[in-house]
């Protein structure tokens, strides 16, 4: 009997020394992030490099807040919750091609045996920068213990803008007549010669679904405001490249100096075989993030 009383006393003492409370809290935040933020792809020829970018926006987190007071009197905090919001993400990349050469059979329309010729085209010095802007909507779970926080889930990105730009690409055209053994290289009135021009245009991308991870440290400013500092990683799980591919080089022989190009992300490298410069484009970002939060 005495032993039973002793056990009950110990249990009551243990229960009274640990106090657990749980409640739902709402957190509203503004954030900004920056780092390596790019369109990830592989070129069939040439080189690609990533670019810097970032994201800014508003966040909302519903916390299921728990506090536990240990036997030593230390307050241990555990927060589980769900996080969402709206953010504008900026992604940049650059492509640099080796000389792009094409040869096509043509006919000048003259009624003779030498009307057929080879149109030889070379595009050199081609460098293209391209960017995309997405409206990102995160749907993530969050966990906090003491000052450490973790976020994991997905982001859904809706494309709201994109463009590409080239500068000082050189197009060289010539016509080789095998029947005559002659190559025309300087007749600019017919579109033969060397021409330099720049291009720009819009890019169309698809909706992206990204795996999103974030981790870091939070700092208490006062009872209602907290500062979060951490690192994040987003990776697109699907191809955002537009299926509507176009001819790479556009020019009129009567105005060859005004030639333009379509983006390597949305054009054929070879019109005959329908080979493309790249088949798959993913959104990717990694960097640092700062978030100011108000807890109500």
Confidence at residue 270, expressed as pLDDT on a 0 to 100 scale? 76
Beta bridge partners of 177: 182
Cα separation, 36 vs 55, in Å, equals: 11
Q: How confident is the model at residue 76 (pLDDT cuts 50, 70, 90)?
A: low
Q: DSSP class of residue 8?
A: H
Average pLDDT over residues 147-170: 94
Structure tokens at 59: 């966040």
* 22-26, 58-62, 64-68: segment of lowest average pLDDT: 64-68
pTM above 0.85, yes or no: no
Q: By the 8 A CB rule, do 229 and 216 touch?
A: yes
Kindly calculate the radius of gyration of the chain based on its CA atoms and give it in whole angstroms: 31
Structure tokens at 61: 């987190």
Pairing of β 267-270 and β 246-247: parallel
Domain ranges of the chain: 17-295
Structure tokens at 289: 């993030």
Cβ neighbours for 193, distance < 8 A, ≥ 6 positions apart: 172, 173, 185, 186, 187, 256
pLDDT digit string, tens, across residues 5-18? 454 344 334 433 33
For the chain, the distance separating the N- and C-terminal CA atoms, rounded to the nearest angstrom, is 51
Confidence at residue 202, expressed as pLDDT on a 0 to 100 scale? 93
Cα separation, 263 vs 259, in Å, equals: 14
């Amino acid at each position: 009997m005495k032993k039973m009383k002793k056990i009950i006393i110990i249990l009551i003492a243990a229960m009274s020394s640990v106090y657990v409370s749980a409640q739902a809290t709402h957190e509203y935040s503004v954030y900004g992030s920056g780092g390596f933020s790019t369109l990830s792809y592989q070129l069939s020829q040439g080189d690609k490099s990533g670019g810097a970018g970032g994201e800014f926006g508003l966040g909302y987190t519903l916390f299921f807040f728990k506090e536990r007071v240990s036997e030593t009197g230390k307050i241990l905090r555990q927060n589980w919750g769900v996080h969402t919001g709206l953010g504008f993400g900026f992604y940049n990349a650059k492509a640099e091609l080796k000389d792009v050469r094409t040869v096509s059979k043509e006919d000048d329309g003259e009624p003779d045996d030498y009307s057929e010729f080879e149109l030889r085209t070379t595009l050199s010095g081609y460098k293209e920068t391209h960017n995309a802007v997405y409206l990102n909507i995160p749907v993530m779970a969050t966990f906090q213990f003491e000052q450490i926080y973790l976020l994991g889930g997905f982001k859904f990105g809706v494309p709201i803008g994109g463009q590409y730009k080239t500068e000082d690409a050189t197009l060289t055209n010539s016509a080789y007549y095998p029947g005559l053994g002659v190559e025309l290289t300087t007749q600019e009135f017919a579109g033969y010669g060397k021409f330099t021009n720049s291009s720009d245009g819009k890019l169309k991308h698809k909706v992206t679904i990204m795996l999103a991870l974030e981790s870091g440290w939070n700092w208490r400013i006062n009872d209602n405001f907290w500062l979060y500092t951490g690192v994040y990683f987003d990776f697109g799980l699907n191809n955002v490249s537009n299926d509507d591919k176009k001819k790479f080089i556009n020019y009129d022989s009567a105005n060859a100096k005004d030639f333009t190009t379509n983006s390597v992300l949305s054009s054929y490298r070879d019109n005959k075989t329908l080979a493309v410069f790249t088949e798959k484009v993913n959104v990717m970002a990694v960097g640092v993030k700062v978030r100011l939060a108000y807890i109500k």
